[in-house]
Amino acid sequence: MDTLTEHGGTDRGRRILEHHHQAGLSREEAATRAGMAPPYLKYLETSRSPNPAPSALARLADALGAAPVRWPAPRCRCRPARSARSPSR
Q: Give the Cα separation of 61 and 75 in Å (integer).
A: 20
CB contact at 8 A, 45 and 7: yes
Percent of the chain at pLDDT > 70 equals: 66
> Cα 37 to the chain's mean position, in Å?
13
Average pLDDT over every residue of 11-30: 90
Question: In this model, does residue 4 exceed pLDDT 60?
Answer: no
Question: Predicted confidence band at 12 (pLDDT cuts at 50, 70, 90)?
Answer: confident
pTM equals 0.66
Q: Which domains does the chain have, with CATH numbers?
A: 4-70 (1.10.260.40)
Average pLDDT value over all residues in the chain: 76
Residue 41 has a pLDDT of: 93
CB contact at 8 A, 59 and 35: yes
Average pLDDT over every residue of 18-31: 92
**Amino acid identity, position 65:** G
Longest dimension (CA), the chain: 67
